[in-house]
Homo-oligomer: A and B are copies of this chain.
């Protein structure tokens, strides 16, 4: 269904931007995993609006409540309900949106599909929906480590803002590297440039896009599925389901098409008793199944659709008109996209971890 994701480890999010609350139900989580509300809150704080001068100034405490599925600090194995109340839902800012479609937003398509829409702030199409994903991602991470018996490290970071490309080694980058600056780019000097460029866009009432890169380290060989539910196919779906995402690639990605097969292939070798590849153009997945190397992906995000300039559009009756957004806007979603990308990666991996254990046990590997 539209608002569910995953098969064995499955989530269902709900909530509109300006309704009473947003939330998520997590089903299939392994039992007896320790979880504290503060762990979830910490990740939501990374996603929260208003956390720095370069993100939207919407004020949301985003205080999460655990409604079910946890008992004495341990997961029960039954559905985990999590909820965050919406607070700063100033519908008034959006009055013009009642009658006009904002360009490159989902206003028109929701209206075309449903004949109705929650017109304040994008409703269900708002990035506010990702609160539930990030909250669920915390459980997914903990489930992964619990089942595997060691941490699966999932780290995302801003790889590119507009034309500014960072130099990052995915095999070593750490969470603290990412959190060292407000743009969440572990290349310090480049981060300074990015922040300046985003700030300039903010002042100009414009917005910028970019690329988030993410790596999962420590994934055992053997996760994923042949054919349709390939691990990379599910990652692609997860990432393209994010607001403003326009592209996905794994390993060599689009850049790899200019290589020949001889150049592109990853030779195997015996690395201390474990089968390894010398290069990682495969991005850690071959034939849809993890090979034990780092899983490295990239997601392209378009510049935010909300800009503070007058734009041509039509109203709900199809008449040509113009629209001009006012007030707060998010000049660049990239820094806040980082925890969301991590969450989606964790959700895909947790799902395939449980699926693999279901079919194959702990497997021969």
Contact (Cβ within 8 A) A264 B302: yes
A189 at the binding interface (Cβ < 8 Å): no
A253 at the binding interface (Cβ < 8 Å): yes
Chain B positions within 8 Å of A260 at CB level? 162, 201, 206-208, 303, 307
Chain B positions within 8 Å of A259 at CB level? 209, 302-303
A25 at the binding interface (Cβ < 8 Å): yes
A79 at the binding interface (Cβ < 8 Å): yes
Interface residues of A in 124-177 (CB under 8 A from B): 124-125, 129, 147, 160, 162-163
Contact (Cβ within 8 A) B67 A14: yes
A356 at the binding interface (Cβ < 8 Å): yes
A214 at the binding interface (Cβ < 8 Å): no
Chain B positions within 8 Å of A281 at CB level? 104, 302
A133: shortest Cβ distance to chain B, in Å? 9
A181 at the binding interface (Cβ < 8 Å): no
A49 at the binding interface (Cβ < 8 Å): no
A189: shortest Cβ distance to chain B, in Å? 20
Contact (Cβ within 8 A) A30 B359: yes
A89 at the binding interface (Cβ < 8 Å): no
Contact (Cβ within 8 A) B14 A69: yes
Number of A positions contacting B (CB below 8 A):
161
Chain B positions within 8 Å of A101 at CB level? 268, 275
Interface of A is mostly: mixed
Chain B positions within 8 Å of A359 at CB level? 8, 28-31, 77, 354, 358
Interface residues of A in 282-323 (CB under 8 A from B): 282-283, 285-292, 300-307, 309, 311-314, 318-320
Contact flags (1/0) for A241-257 with B, using CB distance below 8 Å?
Answer: 10101111111111011
Contact (Cβ within 8 A) A112 B229: no
A59 at the binding interface (Cβ < 8 Å): no
Compute how far the CA of A237 lies from the CA of B82 in the bound complex, rounded to whole angstroms.
28
Interface segment out of the listed A15-23, A39-47, A50-58 = A15-23
A33: shortest Cβ distance to chain B, in Å? 10
Q: Known interface pairs A226-B78, A236-B236, A355-B358. Does A291 touch B258 (Cβ–Cβ under 8 Å)?
A: no
Compute how far the CA of A266 lies from the CA of B305 in the bound complex, rounded to whole angstroms.
9
Chain B positions within 8 Å of A63 at CB level? none
Q: Known interface pairs A114-B32, A221-B112. Does A1 touch B27 (Cβ–Cβ under 8 Å)?
A: yes
Which has the most chain B C-beta neighbours within 10 Å: A83, A266, A288, A356? A288
Contact (Cβ within 8 A) A76 B123: yes
Compute how far the CA of A111 lies from the CA of B31 in the bound complex, rounded to whole angstroms.
10
Contact flags (1/0) for A321-365 with B, using CB distance below 8 Å?
Answer: 000000000000000000000000000000000111111110111
Chain B positions within 8 Å of A186 at CB level? none
A4 at the binding interface (Cβ < 8 Å): yes
A61 at the binding interface (Cβ < 8 Å): no
Contact (Cβ within 8 A) B209 A257: yes
List the 9 closest A-B pairs by CB distance, nearest first. A106-B287, A358-B358, A207-B261, A247-B249, A115-B364, A109-B289, A2-B225, A237-B237, A112-B221
